[in-house]
Amino acid sequence: MTKNEFALAFNEVLEEKQLSRDIILGAIESAMVSAYRRAVNASTAQHVEAKVDAETGKVAIFAEKEVVEARKVNPEAQLGDMVVVDSTPADFGRVAAQTARQVIQQRIREAERSAQMEYFARQVGEIVSGVVQATNVQGATIGLDMKAEGILPSNQKIPNERFKVHDRIRSVVLEVKDGSRGPQIILSRAHRNF
């Protein structure tokens, strides 16, 4: 990736995902560490760090290595000491970009889910607005802020109420549970006049 491609992609992710720069950089750096470990088949005991320059997109890997030629790295180092040195493989940019993409997406999804969970846990008992995405006998799926989805069970609807897809409705956040695919947000319209 060229400097501009990286910066554009990075800022695009920040805007689209509403996540902090640090969360994204942290995700990219841990993805790069995983990619490096796979690329060089490094032991999990070896201390490895990645540094990503958000402006240039340059990735550097620092790995802990045993001193064999002490003077090259640090004139003070004794043979057998452990030092952290720049260990970025020559073709790492290509390898890293390929292997890191999935990990980054996964981390972004995790961070997104955690941000949703935190946000909606604070909204319990409050009225939120959303758009009907789907309806069935069990209830309706409502699209909420932060790309979250809420469930409005049939028993929490106003009696005889019918929704159409794309209807904008207001409801109360009844309960928020941590689900494997993100927060389960249970909504209710039964106890208030809307």
pLDDT band (50, 70, 90) for residue 80: low
Token pair belonging to 137:
């006998």
Residue 187 has pLDDT above 80, yes or no: yes
- Length of the chain in residues, anyone? 194
Predicted local distance difference test score (pLDDT) of residue 132: 97
Residue 71 has pLDDT above 70, yes or no: no
- Between the alpha carbon of residue 80 and those of residues 43, 69, 73, 87, the distances in Å are 18, 9, 12, 18
Average pLDDT for the chain: 81
Task: Look at 114 and 144; give whichever has higher pLDDT.
Answer: 144
pLDDT band (50, 70, 90) for residue 181: confident
Residue 1 has pLDDT above 60, yes or no: no
- 82-102 tens-digit pLDDT: 667 777 777 776 666 665 566
Q: What is the DSSP string of the chain?
A: --HHHHHHHHHHHHHHHT--HHHHHHHHHHHHHHHHHHHHT--TTS-EEEEE-TTT--EEEEEEEE-SSHHHH-TTPPTT-EEEEE---TTHHHHHHHHHHHHHHHHHHHHHHHHHHHHHHTTTTSEEEEEEEEEETTEEEEE-GGG-EEEEEGGGSPTT----TT-EEEEEEEEEEEETTEEEEEEE-TTS--
Predicted local distance difference test score (pLDDT) of residue 165: 95
Distance in angstroms (rounded) separating the CA atoms of residues 123 and 118: 9
Task: Point out the least confidently predicted range of 12-21, 146-155, 158-167, 183-192.
Answer: 12-21
